[in-house]
Structure 1
């Protein structure tokens, strides 16, 4: 049975994901350390994990598998989910697969090394845009439909 698992603590596309999941009749699970307002939607479940680093990630990595779609910005979590057979989507609409997760992990590690070597090289990437939100909606719809038909 296909589920949509959301790494919800800092996810900017929860509402969009809920709309797509509802339209397709897919169960959605919001996983967080708390502070996420529960949805009245009967297809949406909130899972609150213990406080602590990576507790939501551990829950998602242990729960996901083939047929599931996971939304996360956390690259190590994405790698675990891809390895478990889940389809993975970043909030900006980028799909992470077995073909590209290695390079994404390597780039993440390289950037972390560069930031730690140069205290003046700080800050994040590009701001989240309307184009990112649109790309997310399109890709999520495609991934959920594929998961439902596999």
Structure 2
């Protein structure tokens, strides 16, 4: 299990404690990438890579560090798409595993919602997190780890 790492898009990641616990249990290195503007108040027992606050700095730094089979935790469909193309795996903090077969549809939906907002419309935001999201995330993170 030393061949891959858990890489976290740490700008507002709500599952850092779960990642810390699972990474320790499976003896996997976990690295949190975040901008200066989003350093977590509570530090967990993981490596931190802090980058500047320019737009997309965290995403670009992750892309420069990601390797085949790494697990990336991100809410960003665009970043998920890019890491999947490099042979990495990706999971959302809600526990949804991003798959090549679905990523184009997710990106298209994001584009449509952006167009609606640009035209002055409103789109529905994400629902509030709950304990089921945390349980699903942990279960699917372990599933990705054990598939390797």
Both proteins in one fold, TM over 0.5: yes
The alignment status of 1:62 with 2:69, answered yes or no, reads no
Which residue number corresponds to residue 103 of structure 1? 105
Bigger mean CA offset, 95-104 vs 123-132: 123-132
What do residues 74-118 of structure 1 show as CA deviations (whole Å, max 9, x unaligned)? Answer: 111111011111100000100001111111111111111122223
Runs of 4+ aligned structure 1 residues displaced above 4 Å come to none
Instruction: Tell me by how many angstroms 1:122 deviates.
Output: 4.7
Aligned length: 143
**Superposition map of 1:15-30 within 5 A:** 15-30=17-32
The alignment status of 1:145 with 2:146, answered yes or no, reads yes
**Structure 1: gaps spanning 5 or more residues:** none
**Structure 2: gaps spanning 5 or more residues:** none
RMSD over aligned Cα atoms: 1.4
Provide TM-score, normalisation by structure 2: 0.90
**Superposition map of 1:74-85 within 5 A:** 74-85=76-87
Which residue number corresponds to residue 126 of structure 1? 127
CA contact (8 A) 2:94 2:133 kept: yes
The alignment status of 1:4 with 2:6, answered yes or no, reads yes
**Superposition map of 1:27-42 within 5 A:** 27-34=29-36, 35-36=39-40, 37-39=42-44, 41=45
What do residues 46-91 of structure 1 show as CA deviations (whole Å, max 9, x unaligned)? Answer: 0011221110100111211212000000111111011111100000
**Superposition map of 1:44-55 within 5 A:** 44-55=46-57
Provide TM-score, normalisation by structure 1: 0.89
